[in-house]
Amino acid sequence: MAENYVSTTNACKMCTPMGAALVFKGIENAVPFLHGSQGCATYMRRYIISHYREPVDIASSALGEKSAVYGGGPNLKKGILNVMRKYDVSLVGVATTCLTETIGDDVGRYLNEFREEFSDLSLPELVHVSTPSYSGTHMEGWHAAVRSLADQVVKDKGRAHGGVNLLPGFLSPADYRFLKALGERACVRFTMLPDLSETMDGVIWDDYHSLPDGGTPVAEIRAMGGAAGTVEFGMSGGLPESAAGVLERKFGVPARRTAMPIGLRATDQFMDVLAEFASCDMPAKDAFDRGRLLDAMVDGHKYIFGKRAVVYGEEDFVVALCSFLGEIGVQPVLVATGAKSDRFKAAVTNALAEVCQTMPVIRDDADFKDIEDEAAELNPDLLVGHSKGYKLARAKNIPLIRVGFPIHDRFGGQRILHVGYEGALALYDRLVNAVLEKSQDECPVGYGYL
């Protein structure tokens, strides 16, 4: 009899408002605010801290039974006033939760009432985003929050300043640092939204700070309408209109979309886009890094070529990883994401079309039970993804190359570089060494020289 399997087992996705909270963590002096029960904020803080190992404040309207019946407006307003008292806050990012979406709270109306009721106070920017977790993933929450910032904070076109809006999607703080430095090398003034480079991987403090340093300044977000263009990585979670689309429609800022620059070809594409905005020649450092990456690919080819990989995680990140794996001769055999996405299959197929003769099994809306079932017949050599794949890696006795988020069972996940030629080289070294380590461990006599 066919197994009647309907529930999600070990989800390959995280809660939707968590993505929004992470975006708001990348705004200077901003506080993420969850409109819902306190447990949601506690869970997310715990989850985020385990990866980044930084203090993470997430406010909550702490709704109880009474609010669930009569609405959460009073708690929301009281909570924002508390945030204003406790922090020198420039922006409060309010994300809804399952509870407030279910009872149908109109957060936009509550915030308008708040602005009128407290018009005598110096108010921070108040941004709201709808993030029902029962119908999305953390990445849908992420993209919706970036879109809300572009829609609600950028009020006019303003002065043309010649900078470029960079919407990089969900990457590591090391990636954001890399992209900022690349912009400086290429003489492009980026407004990167969000920017978790310092807020989620900061320095040690002598004194307590109520909010971390860093993040995209609100003034820079307001000026995004005057940019020369917007560069957006990935598919924006399938939104009908992404943040770049909002800026193009409202203020005529040209939108350029490109894949996350992971691997050789995607980085080449991004560098070409960057060159259109650059006011100086492409930096020599990146040309050297590109050459080093190619040299390493030649050196390591004999170890890595033909290995079979299972790749899973966030859709844009997975598409970019597949593109890279294909170009180094690794055959993705199963590619999975937890998101329901009608664009995912085409995006993976497109990323692999030039570099793989055989297309992998491609699954959206997948959980780890689906991934384990599919992987059973595919004989993978490697798993590439976040820490939640460890159970499968252990069961199959194959290496897990940890990338992305969350990395809860290793140290330094926030400092993994994925993007650019430099990031591709670092990933390449890790992949080759994982293969070598396994064959060395399994060799009956051992060896100390390749």
Q: Which residues of this protein are in contact with ligand SF4, per CB under 6 A?
A: 15, 17, 36, 40, 43, 97-98, 133
Instruction: State in angstroms the smallest separation of the CB of 82 from ligand SF4.
Output: 20
Residue closer to ligand SF4 (CB basis): 128 or 307: 128
What does the block give as tokens for 362? 């491609």
Residue closer to ligand SF4 (CB basis): 15 or 146: 15
Query: Long-range CB contacts (< 8 A, 24+ apart) of 117-125?
Result: 117/77, 118/81, 121/84, 123/84, 124/84, 124/89, 124/90, 124/91, 124/92, 125/90, 125/91, 125/92, 125/152, 125/153, 125/218
Instruction: State in angstroms the smallest separation of the CB of 62 from ligand SF4.
Output: 12
What does the block give as tokens for 344? 């995912």
- In the three-class reduction of DSSP (H, G, I as helix; E, B as strand; rest coil), residue 116 is classed as helix
Neighbours of 320 (CB within 10 A): 26
Instruction: State in angstroms the smallest separation of the CB of 11 from ligand SF4.
Output: 10
What does the block give as tokens for 432? 């080759």
Q: In this structure, what is the dihedral angle of CA atoms 368, 371, 376, 381, given to the nearest 10 degrees?
A: -100
DSSP assignment of 166-232? EE--S--HHHHHHHHHHHHHTT--EEESS--TTTTS----SS--SS-S-SB-HHHHHGGGG-SEEEE
Q: CA–CA separation, 248 vs 237, rounded Å?
A: 18
Residue closer to ligand SF4 (CB basis): 11 or 239: 11
- In the three-class reduction of DSSP (H, G, I as helix; E, B as strand; rest coil), residue 295 is classed as helix
Residue closer to ligand SF4 (CB basis): 40 or 334: 40
- In the three-class reduction of DSSP (H, G, I as helix; E, B as strand; rest coil), residue 259 is classed as coil
Closest C-alpha to 422, from 125, 245, 243, 182: 182
Where do we find the tokens 């004194």?
207
Instruction: State in angstroms the smallest separation of the CB of 66 from ligand SF4.
Output: 18
- In the three-class reduction of DSSP (H, G, I as helix; E, B as strand; rest coil), residue 246 is classed as helix
Instruction: State in angstroms the smallest separation of the CB of 41 from ligand SF4.
Output: 8
Instruction: State in angstroms the smallest separation of the CB of 48 from ligand SF4.
Output: 12
Instruction: State in angstroms the smallest separation of the CB of 420 from ligand SF4.
Output: 33
Closest C-alpha to 78, from 64, 57, 99, 97: 64
> Letter for the amino acid at 129?
V
Residue closer to ligand SF4 (CB basis): 36 or 226: 36
Instruction: State in angstroms the smallest separation of the CB of 198 from ligand SF4.
Output: 27
Q: CA–CA separation, 64 vs 62, rounded Å?
A: 7
The greatest distance separating any two alpha carbons of the chain, rounded to the nearest whole angstrom, comes to 78
DSSP assignment of 338-363? SS--SSHHHHHHHHHTTT-SSPPEEE
Q: CA–CA separation, 36 vs 57, rounded Å?
A: 15
Residue closer to ligand SF4 (CB basis): 71 or 132: 132
Residue closer to ligand SF4 (CB basis): 343 or 388: 388
Residue closer to ligand SF4 (CB basis): 133 or 341: 133
Give me the sign of the Cα torsion angle 270, 276, 279, 283.
positive
Residue closer to ligand SF4 (CB basis): 67 or 133: 133
Residue closer to ligand SF4 (CB basis): 99 or 407: 99
Instruction: State in angstroms the smallest separation of the CB of 130 from ligand SF4.
Output: 12
Residue closer to ligand SF4 (CB basis): 23 or 153: 23
Instruction: State in angstroms the smallest separation of the CB of 35 from ligand SF4.
Output: 10
